[in-house]
Chain A
Amino acid sequence: MIWLKWGAFTLVLAAIVHWVSVAYTPTLIMSRAMSTIAANTKGTNTIGHGERSTAASRTIVLPSPDLLYSTCTYDVSRRPLKIVTAAPADTYWSVAFYAANTDNFYVLNDTAARGQPATIILVGQGQTVPPQAEGTTVVSAPTPKGIVLFRTLINGDERLADLDQQRRAAKCDPM
């Protein structure tokens, strides 16, 4: 009988360990990614422009050497964030929003934006913003913290310097 009790105790404990490890894996991995990116960009709610990926780029697995990454770790717990995309010409670009649990809850690319710079207001739960200029998109963040990731495709080595310059027009600032 005593062994049955010990067995049941072990199984319940194993179930708890199983649930906790699966449920918190995404948050833990994202938290580490956010800390590393925020350190590289010198804080949250500010944009940083990474160099072209090389073998020394070891923040996120499978980095693409054909993309220029710009990042902004966000925290909209106190006030909304205004994001303006750059619009490098004649190449693919996108801006993707990720919640703290890894969900990709919004993405916009150059085709959808018709090649023009786009303005996106990221609001936290319960926040409101005054009426915005036409064409501005208001997006609700499912978690107060997360990552905004800008991608610019290097469609030719000869374009690298020009694309690097153009993508630096992107902004990520608190309102």
Chain B
Amino acid sequence: MRFVLKLLAALALALALGLGSAYYAVIVQTLSKTAVVNGPWSGNLAAGGTSADMYARAAVAVGGLLALNKSETIYFVADGDSAGEAFDARCTYRIEGRDPDARWWSITAYGKDRFLIDTPSQRYSVGKSNVVRTADGAFVIRVSTAQHVENWIAASPDGFILALRLYNPGPKVTDDPATTALPAIVKEACQ
């Protein structure tokens, strides 16, 4: 009986250690190591490639399944604003900037579960084709649960993240994605 109890304890400890260290190695170490940070945006450039490293491959499977490689598309994600504060669903956020250096781009809001947000408006994204620009080519996009007339992406009251996709990015972006000009995210009024 005592032996069985010891064996069960060892198995439980081994399972916890093995899974915990795997999670740490893949999510914390590998995903963060391959991440490129540009203001509030963070991108995983290992997505969409081929890798001999089992940790890198696991990180891609978790963080970028069926993604394209970086010359085809670069994916950035933001879970907070340019001031470094996490998104607060009670607030309106202003995304401001100019067209990123890419053939096409879009900014999309997702729920915390990384799926599109279920709102009647279905205003999931704004992109190069439908963004309304000022005379000098700049744009302001608002992300909020409250409705806006133009350049509006609907947020979820349960929290959200933003994804910025750059399709066929310019060579300067693929060479140095950490310094390319990307839109800033500024917190406005909160309810």
Contact present for B65 and A55 (CB under 8 Å): no
Task: Give bound CA distance, A13 to B6, whole Å.
Answer: 14
Give CA–CA (A66, B163) in the complex, Å. 12
Quote the shortest CB–CB distance from B62 to chain A (angstroms).
Answer: 7
B residues contacting the other copy or chain, number (CB 8 A)? 54
Do residues B19 and A21 form an inter-chain contact, with CB atoms below 8 A?
Answer: yes
CB of A155 within 8 A of CB of B104, answer yes
Which chain A residues numbered 94 to 110 have a C-beta less than 8 Å away from chain B?
Answer: 94, 96, 98, 101-105, 107, 109
CA distance A15 to B26 in the complex (A): 15
Within 8 A of B (CB), among A79-126: 92, 94, 96, 98, 101-105, 107, 109, 111
**A102 partner residues in chain B, CB cutoff 8 A:** 57, 60-61, 65-66
Evaluate contact between B10 and A58: CB separation under 8 angstroms: no
Inter-subunit contact A22/B17 (CB<8 Å): no
Which residue on A lies nearest to B110, using beta carbons? A62
Do B62 and A25 have beta carbons less than 8 Å apart? yes
Residues from chain A with Cβ under 8 Å of B69 in the complex: 104, 107
Residues of A within 8 A of B115 (CB): 55, 57-58, 61-63
B67 touching A104, Cβ below 8 Å: yes
Q: Is the CB of A15 within 8 A of B72?
A: no
Given the known inter-chain contacts A13-B11, A92-B104, A156-B130, please indicate yes or no for A61 contacting B114, CB distance below 8 A. Answer: yes
CB-CB under 8 A from A94, the residues of chain B are 68, 72
Interface flags, A47-58, vs B, CB<8A=1, else 0: 000000111111
How many contacting A-B pairs (Cβ < 8 A)? 152
Q: Are A147 and B66 in contact (CB under 8 A)?
A: yes
User: Nearest chain B CB to A36's CB is how many angstroms away?
Assistant: 12
Who on chain A is nearest to B115 by CB? Answer: A58
Q: Does A175 make an interface contact (CB < 8 A)?
A: no
Contact, CB under 8 Å: B26 / A60: no
Query: Which one of B26, B48, B50 has the highest number of Cβ atoms from chain A below 10 Å of its Cβ?
Result: B50
With A55-B115, A102-B60 as contacts: A22 and B54 at CB distance below 8 Å: yes
| A101: chain B residues within 8 A (beta carbon) | 57
Q: Which residues of A have CB within 8 Å of B17? A: 10-11, 14, 17-18
Q: Which residue of B lies closest to A14 (CB)?
A: B17
Instruction: Show the binding face of B for A, using Cβ within 8 Å.
Output: 6, 10-11, 13-15, 17-19, 21-22, 25-26, 48-51, 54-55, 57-58, 60-62, 65-69, 72, 75, 103-104, 106, 108, 110, 113-119, 122, 124-125, 127-130, 163, 165, 167-168
Closest 10 interchain pairs by CB?
A17-B18, A13-B14, A55-B118, A14-B17, A26-B61, A61-B114, A65-B124, A103-B50, A14-B14, A18-B18
Given A54-B122, A65-B124, A107-B72, 5 extra CB contacts under 8 A: A17-B22, A18-B25, A96-B68, A109-B72, A109-B168
